[in-house]
């Protein structure tokens, strides 16, 4: 039996990677960098914000006077769309034939980047929105994935939100993004391989790694934060970030487009509860990177896949002390000081009933 109070490693079956846990390091004195907190209240409308309704964006486009969720193509997209899929395939083949070697490989990457404004109000964040308003965001996520996932030149759709300056968010207006790409991203490839490996190891065609994991966590109880009828929220056993959490559907769901109306409301409820809990932890608008992981839209069935959401918040001890992934974490393997069980105990006290 592993003593979780002593240094130990934990295995992440999703990514097939290990994380080092060093509980004693949480007590070390801190004289490192501290982050600034943004305590000033934002206005409900900012005439200088390029995401607010009716305002001018950097490319000269004027936003409509939108009242709900608003989606537009990113003015500074990381990847570009190619209209002719035949041209894309030809370019990829030429790159593979002419410029690649076993050591120097490159290939074109094309796709679509969009911004998704959650609300017209500049002063809102997800925990400030109602469950119905968050459900509208979920419905837009689903519609975007249905549209883009049906295209021949898109094989993966990554939905995500960066909240807070410390997470590199360039605008505090409540918004997220989607990047839809032809190639399947590295993390999704790893999670696909991990879920396939679990199914093969169990030798059961019905075995789904994250549903088996959920059943284990429900039995253990110590890392589950809350559940509603359709979703469960927990600090993963293999979490890297101090207050990392995961949202899991309770039935097999490969892609977000498969959510029923009731499940959309269940996800919205779970999103409001965990983001509100985060804000209560250090009494600050809590920064994080959040993303939806789902099966690729590559024409394969992907029966091994279970859709889920990751929250990666950087704060460690307070509103001003963050976790840095440097040194050993960058050069060897991820490491954490606070155990997932300790983090879960702190968060569980702050969950909305």
Tokens for 9?
Answer: 């490693």
Q: Which helix H or strand E contains 30, and what residues bound it?
A: none
Is residue 173 annotated as part of the catalytic site, yes or no?
no
**Residue whose structure tokens are 């892609």:** 255
Specify burial of residue 312 (Cβ count, 10 A radius: 0-12, 13-18, 19+).
Answer: buried
**Alpha-carbon torsion angle 24, 25, 31, 32, nearest 10:** -160
Alpha-carbon gap, residue 84 to 67, rounded angstroms:
35
* DSSP structure string for 257-324: GG--HHHHHHHHHHHHHHHHHHHHHTTS---EEEEEE----SS---TT---EEEEE--B-SSSS-B--
Taking the C-alpha atoms of residue 88 and residue 155, their distance in angstroms, rounded to an integer, is: 13
Residue 177 CA neighbour count, 13 Å, CB half = 17
Q: Which tokens hold the place of 107?
A: 């290939």
State the CB neighbour count (10 A cutoff) for residue 62.
10
Q: Which of 8, 122, 173, 175 is catalytic?
A: 175
Name the residue among 256, 290, 78, 275 with its Cα closest to residue 167: 290
* Residue 61 per-residue DSSP state: P
Q: Please classify residue 21 by burial: count the beta carbons closer than 10 Å to its beta carbon, then call 0-12 exposed, 13-18 middle and 19+ buried.
A: buried
Contacts of 55 (CB under 8 A, 6+ apart): 47, 48, 49, 62, 63
The catalytic site residues sit at 175
């Amino acid at each position: 039996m592993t003593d979780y109070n002593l240094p130990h490693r934990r295995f992440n079956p999703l990514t097939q990677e290990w994380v080092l846990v060093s509980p004693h390091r949480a007590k070390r004195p801190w004289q490192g960098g501290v982050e600034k907190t943004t305590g000033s209240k934002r206005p409900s409308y900012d005439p200088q914000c390029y995401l607010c309704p009716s305002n001018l964006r950097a490319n000269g486009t004027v936003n409509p006077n939108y009242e709900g969720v608003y989606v537009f193509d990113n003015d500074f997209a990381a990847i570009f769309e190619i209209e002719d899929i035949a041209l894309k395939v030809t370019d990829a083949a030429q790159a593979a034939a002419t410029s690649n070697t076993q050591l120097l490989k490159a290939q074109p990457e094309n796709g679509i980047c969009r911004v998704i404004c959650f609300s017209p109000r500049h002063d809102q964040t997800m925990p400030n929105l109602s469950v119905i308003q968050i459900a509208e965001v979920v419905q837009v996520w689903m519609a975007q994935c249905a549209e883009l996932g049906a295209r021949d030149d898109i094989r993966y759709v990554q939905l995500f939100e960066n909240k807070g300056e410390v997470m590199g968010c360039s605008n505090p207006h409540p918004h997220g993004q989607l990047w839809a790409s032809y190639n399947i991203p590295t993390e999704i490839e790893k999670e696909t391989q991990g879920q396939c490996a679990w199914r093969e190891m169990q030798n059961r065609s019905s075995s789904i790694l994250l549903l088996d994991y959920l059943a284990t966590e429900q039995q253990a109880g110590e890392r589950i934060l809350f559940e509603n009828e359709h979703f469960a929220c927990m600090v993963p056993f293999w979490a890297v970030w101090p207050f990392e959490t995961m949202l899991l559907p309770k039935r097999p769901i490969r892609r977000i487009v498969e959510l029923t109306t009731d499940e959309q409301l269940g996800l919205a409820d779970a999103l409001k509860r965990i983001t509100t809990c985060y804000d209560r932890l250090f009494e600050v608008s809590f920064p994080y990177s959040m993303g939806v992981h789902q099966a690729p839209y590559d024409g394969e069935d992907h029966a091994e896949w279970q859709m889920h959401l990751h929250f990666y918040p950087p704060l460690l001890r307070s509103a001003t002390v963050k976790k840095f992934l440097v040194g050993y974490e960058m050069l060897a393997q991820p490491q954490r000081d606070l155990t997932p069980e300790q983090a879960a105990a702190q968060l569980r006290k702050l969950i909305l009933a």
